[in-house]
Every structure is written in C-alpha cells, then in structure tokens.
Structure 1
Amino acid sequence: MARSPHSGAEQARARIAALLRDLRLDAGITGDELSRRCGWSAAKSSRLEHAKTSPSDSDIRTWCGACGASDQADELVLANRQADQLYSEWRQQQRSGLRRIQESVLPLHERTRVQRVYCSNVVPGFFQTPAYTRALFASFVRFEGIPDDIDLAVESRQKRGRLLIEGDHRFVVLMEETVLRYRIGGRRVMAEQLERLLAVSSLPSVALGIIPFTADRDAMWPLEAFYLYDTEKVLVETLSAELNVTSLREIELYHRAFLELGQIAVYGHAARERIRQAVDALL
C-alpha cells in the first residue's frame, strides 16, 4: 500500500507515452525527425513521450501516421480515452454547477448493492443533513468560484438518503473520529449532523465503524476518502480531482485497505459513544 492512490491514472498515462515511444523507435526515427513529420515542436514530442502532457486524439493519429503505424491509431486513441477517464478534475465537472454532479452519480448509488466507504474528512453524502451539505457546498462555491446552484444541489444530494431505507442496499462505513470533530457549518449544524449519525447507525442497512484517535496505526495509516461500489469501481476524492478506479487489481487493493482499516475501528455501542462524546464537546 505504499503507492499513491493516483497510481492507476499515472500508470495508464505512462503506458500511453511508452507505446508512443515504442512506435517511434520501431520506425527507426529520432525525436527531432518525428517532430518534423508531425509539424510541431521537439518540446511537444518530448512532453508526450515522457507523459508530461496527455495527447489528444489528433496528436495520437498524427504520431502514428508519422511512424507509419496508422493502423494502430484507433486502438491507441481508445486506450488514451480510458486513461483520461481515470482522472476527472473537479473544476471541469463543476463548470455547470454542483447539481449536475449530484444527479450524474445517483444511478451508480442506486444500482450498488453494497457500498463500502472510508471517510477521513467529511460525513458521506447519504448520511448528511441538508444543513451540513449546504455548508460544504457553500465552501466549494467560494473556494472554486463555480456557479452557485446550492439549493438545487442540496435537494439532489438528499435523494441518496432514501436508499438507506429503500431497496436492497447496504452501507458499510468507516469513519475517522476526526470527522466527528470537524465543525462543518459551525456548532449547531455539526450537532444536528452528529444526531443524524446516531439515528442512521441503528438502521438495518447500515454498519458504522469509528476509528478512534488513539487507534494504533501499525497496519494502516489514514488515507484519502474512497468509495467502493460493489466490485464495479472505486472513487477516490482529492482536492483537485476524482479518481475513477476500475482496474480489478486496484479495486482489490482498496478492498484490502478497507479490511485493514476495519480492524482498528469500533462498532455498535462503542461507536455511538464516540459520536455522543463529539456531541457533548459542542455543548
């Protein structure tokens, strides 16, 4: 687990760059000659070949043509598009507002039978109160300078909460105790959110574990928040982007991490006691 969670996206991009380099070497031409044939600078060829810049579809087709390998262009274009899908910048998603993002992920939540979530920063969306969600979205709008459609986005996110009691869904959530202490929206909003956590923790569809401040971290260190949707995919959230992990090997890696984190969590009465202590700290 020593690798960055960005490894899937990085490796996919590096693989495309390596394939482009191999095409050039197989053609027996230098980087300068390739650049001349493509009609662009040597610096651009170097950036593409060393994965410093992601190629466009046109770049790949031009490169393949210059190497006499136009028959390989379609396959490379498809592989490149799949690599791009691994890494999706939040700012690009948020250009049309937050509501669209909430609506776009709802079908994934609806078809997932077992959702495993590790939270190290905020309460997961399906547990959130409207006020807590509103406070988060207000921060996003201010920090990112994106369109303000908070009211509609809050309404859309709240639709996830119905899955806690409707249909055949199960939610297994591991939450760092720090999440209980971060005062998102201030004391009143956070107190309401913690009471909500106490209520949902007793639902048959929910298994909630809290990883204490004092837990020994010999086996597993705190990670960025991630969401496992059955065995279909993993979403990893960073400040700037969302990583879409679909590789079976990497999905298994996150499952292993989730199991390790689960070993140091407390559940049932002990978990609810941690939440109550966080409520008391707000009074």
Structure 2
Amino acid sequence: MPTSPNSAAKKAQEALGLRLRSLRIDAGLTARQLAVAANWHFTRVSKIENGVQRPTDTDVRTWCAVCVADGEASDLIAQARSIESMYMEFRHRTRTGLKYLMRSPVPLYERTTQFRIYEHNVVPGLFQTAGYIRAMLPFWFTFLGVRDDLEESVQARLDRQSVVYDGSKTFSVVLEEACLRTPLGGTEVLIGQLDRLLSIMSRPNVALGIVPSLTVRDVIGSAGFWIFDDSLVKLETPTASIEVSQPQELGLYVKMFDHLRGCAVYGADARRLVLRVVDELE
C-alpha cells in the first residue's frame, strides 16, 4: 500500500521499515536473500524498509520467519496496523460541526475500565464545566473551518462525562499545576472549574494528583496523553488525534505515566494546592 500522506503516519511507516531492516541485518541476510526466501520481488524488500510500502500482516510474519525472529511478529503487526488509523484528521471528522467529534470517544470510554490521564496545560475533558468548555471551543470552529454548533458540542462533551460516575471504572489522573492556572474564559470561569476539580477529587474512583510547578524533577511530559486500559494511548495535536496501540510503545507511555505520577501530590496536599490557586484568583 502507498504511504499515507499524513506526515505522522509516514514517519511511523519509516520507523517500521527500520525495525524490519534491523531484523534482516541481525539475521545476516541481504535484501535479495530475504526476497528469495520469501518468494518476493527484491524491490518489495527495499520499499518496505524505506517506508514506501506498508507491509501486510502476512508480510510481517514471513519476514520474521525468514529472519528467525517469530517472537517479534505480533508487536510488529500491531505497529503496522496502527499506521492506518493512528493519525485521524480532525478536519475530515468535523465538517458538520464539533458535536460528532465530542461524541466519537463514547464507545471507547464505555468499554474502558481503567483510565490513566496526563495533562500539562488543560483540565481533562471528563472533568470540565460547561463554562470552561464554552470558553475553549469557539477558537476551534474558526481554526478548523467548521460549522459553529457550540451549544450542541458543549452538551455532547458534558454527556460523555457520565462515565466518571460509573463505580466500575477508575481514573488515575496527573495534572501539572499549569492546568490550574490557564484562565480559559476568565477568572470566574476558572474558579468554577477549580471548584469542580475539588468535587471530582472526592470521588472514590478518582485518584487525582497535581505536580507543583516548582517540583524538582528529571522529566516533563511534552504532551498530554490518555491511556485506556492496556490497549490504547491517545494524544491530540492541534489538527489530529494520534492513536498508539503497539504493545512496546504503549508500555513506554505507561512507564512515563508512572514516572510523572511519582512527581505529583495527592489528597490533602493536592486540595491545598487547588485552594491556594483559588485564593490567588479571588
């Protein structure tokens, strides 16, 4: 299959090609030798290794078998499958407004039992107030060039928050202190949002930690990310949603989340931090 026009998908395809090339080299095979063993034209090997062509599941299994690396097959297949879906353009999903985009994660939320959420500059959507949402969305209608369906989109985002009240689901959340200080919609809106966070923190199925801004640390999260059970990671850029399902990479996000969680304060310390910001705002 030809390379996706999305740059993120292209880079992912090139990374897959490099991993397959490394397997071939480790097996001591030339590209022609691998092609002969797999009964392929030799240019197929070159195209896959250079990210020009995405390998099928069968291609990956054959490649691993020839290189005597069958143990790598499942991870590589997951990586290959994710390329097609990892970079879903918002523009194509929002032509009739943002309401559909707000509703699209609902099936994923409903089947997820463990949410792990890291945000570095915004309160997570599952905990946002109507005022906070209403302050966030108008920019995106203009930026993405889509129909303004503000009130429908606000309600759709509020509706999906029902999962927070499902006692069978758990939410482990790490926020940077900057999330508490981003005044979307102004001071009054932010104070209302912080009051909502204090309420959420009291729920038995929510563990909400905050990383104080002056914490001495050895790592920062470069982007917010959400981990759904042990099956999927989602990140959002200004123009797209990126999905990661490759087991090895997913494991790295879990490792990063655990590290960031170790920097956070919880319970009474977290509440005091939120209340201190409220006092400063008032």
TM-score, normalization: structure 1?
Answer: 0.75
Structure-to-structure mapping, 1:1-283, within 5 angstroms: 10-15=11-16, 27=41, 50-51=50-51, 82-218=82-218, 220-283=219-282
Q: 1:158 to 1:54 in 2, by over 3 A?
A: farther
Aligned mates of 1:148, 1:54 — CA distance in 2: 39
Over 3 Å counting, the alpha-carbon distance change for 1:7 and 1:251 in structure 2 is farther
Matched AA of 1:276: L
Counterparts in 2 of 1:82 and 1:174: CA distance versus 1, 3 Å: closer
Give the 3 Å change call, closer, same or farther, for CA 49–212 of structure 1 in structure 2.
same
CA positional deviation for 1:28: 5.7
Q: 1:156 to 1:264 in 2, by over 3 A?
A: same
- Once the two structures are superposed, residues 125-158 of structure 1 have per-residue CA deviations (whole angstroms, 9 ceiling, x without a partner) of 1100011111111121132222211111111111
CA-to-partner distance for each residue in 1:173-195, whole Å, 9 max, x for gaps?
A: 00000010010111111111011
SS in structure 1 opposite 2:208?
strand
Deviations 1:227-267 (A, max 9, x none): 00111200012222211001111111011001000111000
Identity of aligned residues (%): 35
Deviation at 1:84? Answer: 2.2
Quick one: structure 1 residues 278 and 18, their matched pair in 2 at CA, closer, same or farther if it must change by over 3 Å?
Answer: closer
Tell me how far apart the structure 1 counterparts of residues 163 and 42 of structure 2 sit (CA, whole Å).
58
The alpha carbon displacement at 1:89 in A equals: 2.1
| TM-score, normalised with respect to structure 2 | 0.75
Kindly provide the CA deviation profile for residues 35-81 of structure 1, in whole angstroms up to 9, marking residues without a partner as x.
Answer: xxxxxxxxxx9xx9854x888xxxxxxxxxxxxxxxxxxxxxx9876
- Separation in 2 of the partners of 1:263 and 1:12? 33
Q: 1:71 maps to which residue?
A: none
Q: Decide whether aligned partners of structure 1 residues 234 and 79 sit closer, same or farther in structure 2, where only a CA change above 3 A counts.
A: closer
Shift of residue 171, structure 1, vs aligned partner: 0.8
Structure 2: gaps of 5 or more residues: 1-6, 21-30, 55-77
Q: 2: distance between equivalents of 1:251 and 1:171?
A: 18
1:251 aligned partner, one-letter code: L
Counterpart amino acid of residue 251 in structure 2: E
Task: Report the Cα offset of residue 160 of structure 1.
Answer: 2.4
Q: C-alpha distance in 1, partners of 2:53/2:275?
A: 49
Match of 2:61 in 1: none
CA distance in 1, matches of 2:193, 2:243: 28
CA contact (8 A) 1:13 1:54 kept: no
**1:276–1:262 CA distance, 2 compared to 1 (3 A):** same
AA in 2 matched with 1:270: D
Distance change >3 Å, CA 195–CA 18, structure 1 → 2: closer
Given residue 247 of structure 1, which amino acid in structure 2 is its aligned partner? Answer: Q
Structure 2 Cα separation of the partners of residues 247 and 221 of structure 1: 23
Q: 1:50 to 1:237 in 2, by over 3 A?
A: same
User: For residues 206 and 79 of structure 1, do their structure 2 counterparts lie closer, same or farther at Cα, with a shift above 3 Å needed?
Assistant: closer
Give the conservation status (yes or no) of the 8 Å contact 1:120–1:176.
yes
Q: What letter is aligned with 2:149?
A: D
Distance 1:274 1:85, change over 3 A: same
| d(CA) in 1 for partners of 2:8, 2:79 | 16
In the alignment, structure 1 segments of 5+ residues that lack a partner are 1-5, 30-44, 56-77
Q: Alpha-carbon deviation of 1:91?
A: 2.1
Mapped partners of 2:230, 2:107: distance in 1:
16
